[in-house]
Structure 1
Amino acid sequence: MTGDYLTRIGTLIRTARQHRGWSQAQLGEALGTSQSAVNRIEQGKQNVSLEMIARIGEALDSEIVSLGYSGPMHLRVAGGTRLSGAIDVRSSKNACVAILCASLLTTGRTTIRSVARIEEVYRILEVLTSIGVKSRWINEGRDLELTPPAELDLAAMDVEAARRTRSVLMFLGPLMHRAQHFAIPYAGGCDLGTRTVQPHLTALRRFGLEVATTGGAYHASVEPGAPMDRPIVLTERGDTVTENALLAAARHDGVSVIRNASPNYMVQDLCFFLEK
């Protein structure tokens, strides 16, 4: 080893020894060597074999040199210092996707601040623009402006983009207020195993949505929903199924009570948007 590496290793050994509360003599005794030998090692003035480094680490209960071992790491934290400052936080992809779908509930302009510019957001945007929604990035690309048309061109939906995101399921809630009959492709997205869409269909049926799953698409038809004289009980406490029920309830007459709803942050962000 070169002198520079020996010095750095020696410093690590000295720090670990002092942290253990040992003297050089105590470490030497544990290693079966002399105090002067330990001193030379810590000064970087003696070659050290990998075997010796391993023995020192075992004696001090401290991994001196990591060789890709995935076990626990030893950290020493000197606390008691007041911290201050500011950082820029990334915005929520899940909340943004829900609000993108919710923009279909209105024909007015929607502006979303601090949009997460990631793939799933782009996929939903591709679907929205394919059915006639105008989108425009503003404020140096940080914010997004959406303007749906008076009539959506659902027949022109970008099937490829829709199949690449499971979030397209959240089109069911708002589209039932925009069209009596429509279809969306089977939802795809991340590979997390088989996940049923039945909780969505069960919840939305109470609002008058009936769905037949044939030919690689969900074929939806809308009839006037029954009065909400009893709560809707979700069969799955999921974020997207809660959001779908919220999107359907937002333009449904009367008061809707949703039981077993997810309280996660993205659901709350959607609620804030719907309130506005």
Structure 2
Amino acid sequence: MRKIVINGGKPLSGQVAVSGAKNSVVALIPAIILADDIVTLDGVPAISDVDSLIEIMEIMGAKVKRDGETLEIDPRGVENKPMPYGKINSLRASYYFYGSLLGRFGEAVVGLPGGCDLGPRPIDLHLKAFEAMGAKVSYEGDNMRLSTGGKAVHGTQIFFDTVTVGATINTMIAAAKAEGRTIIENAAREPEIIDVATLLNNMGAHIRGAGTDIITIEGVKTLHGTRHQVIPDRIEAGSYIAMAAAVGEGIKVTNVLYEHLESFIAKLDEMGVRMTVEEDAIFVEKQEKLKAVSIKTAPYPGFATDLQQPLTPLLLKAEGRATITDTIYEKRVNHVPEMARMGANISTVGGRIVYEGPNDLTGAPVKATDLRAGAALVTAGLMAKGRTEITNIEFILRGYSNIIEKLKALGADIELIEE
């Protein structure tokens, strides 16, 4: 068993660099299957989700070279074969292989996706889009088969009943080499969607409107190799900014795109967090009195669901009583009992999180129930007096690149221990 041990209550200072976006790279790597030559990604984070994707790509026949944050993938040897269920089952983003394999081979046999347990996250909208593009869906044990009967998928008009990042990206990937034009209406607008569209366009795709609610894709016959810089991870950036405000005595968070964090920064301003926004960095001062604020998550450009948990420990320092409402994932409240175990005045009432502060946290044994809950517990452990032991840390390592090393460089007393 591995765990993270933190001796908290120590002020942090210095500089921390944000890595490439997890939610981009987990779609970029499967999308490379569509290319007819080598694709190089720069700014790839050192996270376990990337390790799993590389292993899957190699099993399928791709040649992969990794040098630090640079990843070179030659997909020309990829074969259409069922993918290893164990790896697929641990990885939510495995569903992006549906789109890339359909686009290249007209067929995909993939295990049902796994990932964090955040409540219902159905893939019905993905399947609705693929069926509209000519694919038939069947099930074989733990696998799902999508097939067009040997034909290329065809362009069509797709309206999503709800805004969905995963289905927007997956449809865009599949449509890149479709016959004809595909129009996605009520598309999600997240920066990661723009990042995937940029990679595909750099490979020769014709995609317009990414970042708006209508995306148009003109299918092409071939896609070539290219080089692409992964955008900075806005969720990691927000996590470190919140952490800096909670325990920092002056921390600069670098490789930040402010325009990706506007709704998050607006809430910090409302709390009274003192910070200076620079061109590609945010300097967070030592904080004094903070005001409690209510949070309600929403699709981009609203407040990101992935940031409500990392922000919670900072909210616990604020004066007053307020609520957190997650409209995206109903089970994104599992960090609450863990925070309460550390002495926080926090609870769930009717699906909402209610908190009152300020709180003095005490170190305790806690468990990460999902990726962002794990990040929240790390910040809480840094804030708390005494020793905090976090188990289930595989969730944290799925999404935060070199988190132990980054925090140690800021002065944190933190260790990853194997037992």
How does the TM-score come out when normalised to structure 2? 0.42
2:167 maps to a residue whose letter is: V
Distance, in Å, in 1 between the alignment partners of 2:90 and 2:116 is 8
* Correspondence for 2:65 among 136, 145, 150: 136
Asked whether 1:172 is paired with 2:98, we answer: yes
Asked whether 1:235 is paired with 2:148, we answer: no
Aligned 1:40-59 pairs, distance under 5 A: none
* Correspondence for 2:44 among 115, 121, 146: 115
Per-residue deviation, residues 120-148 of structure 1 (Å, max 9, x unmatched): 1212222111111111112xx11100011
Asked whether the equivalents of residues 126 and 158 of structure 1 are also in contact (C-alpha less than 8 Å), the reply is: no
Per-residue deviation, residues 179-221 of structure 1 (Å, max 9, x unmatched): 2443111111111123211100001112212211341111121
1:97 match: 26
Aligned 1:239-254 pairs, distance under 5 A: 239-254=165-180
User: Per the alignment, do residues 178 and 227 of structure 1 end up closer, same or farther by CA in structure 2, a change over 3 Å counting?
Assistant: closer
User: Per the alignment, do residues 187 and 254 of structure 1 end up closer, same or farther by CA in structure 2, a change over 3 Å counting?
Assistant: same
1:268 maps to a residue whose letter is: I
Per-residue deviation, residues 44-96 of structure 1 (Å, max 9, x unmatched): xxxxxxxxxxxxxxxxxxxxxxxxxxxxxxxxxxxxxxxxx986332101111
Asked whether 1:183 is paired with 2:183, we answer: no
Structure 2: 5+ residue stretches without partners: 1-13, 203-419
1:27 match: none
Asked whether 1:145 is paired with 2:93, we answer: no
Distance, in Å, in 1 between the alignment partners of 2:168 and 2:185 is 9
3-state DSSP of counterpart to 2:55: helix
1:188 maps to a residue whose letter is: G
Asked whether the equivalents of residues 132 and 153 of structure 1 are also in contact (C-alpha less than 8 Å), the reply is: no
Distance, in Å, in 2 between the alignment partners of 1:244 and 1:182 is 13
Higher strand share: 2
1:266 match: 192
User: Per the alignment, do residues 181 and 95 of structure 1 end up closer, same or farther by CA in structure 2, a change over 3 Å counting?
Assistant: closer
Per-residue deviation, residues 7-61 of structure 1 (Å, max 9, x unmatched): xxxxxxxxxxxxxxxxxxxxxxxxxxxxxxxxxxxxxxxxxxxxxxxxxxxxxxx
User: Per the alignment, do residues 153 and 183 of structure 1 end up closer, same or farther by CA in structure 2, a change over 3 Å counting?
Assistant: closer
Higher relative contact order (CA 8 A, sep 6+): 2
**Number of aligned pairs?**
188
Distance, in Å, in 2 between the alignment partners of 1:147 and 1:248 is 19
User: Per the alignment, do residues 174 and 153 of structure 1 end up closer, same or farther by CA in structure 2, a change over 3 Å counting?
Assistant: closer
3-state DSSP of counterpart to 1:257: strand
Distance, in Å, in 2 between the alignment partners of 1:226 and 1:252 is 5
How many percent of aligned residue pairs carry the same amino acid?
27
3-state DSSP of counterpart to 1:182: strand
Distance, in Å, in 2 between the alignment partners of 1:171 and 1:266 is 17
**1:98 Cα shift?**
0.9
Asked whether the equivalents of residues 80 and 105 of structure 2 are also in contact (C-alpha less than 8 Å), the reply is: no
Structure 1: 5+ residue stretches without partners: 1-84
Larger radius of gyration: 1
2:76 maps to a residue whose letter is: P
Asked whether the equivalents of residues 107 and 150 of structure 1 are also in contact (C-alpha less than 8 Å), the reply is: no
1:149 maps to a residue whose letter is: R
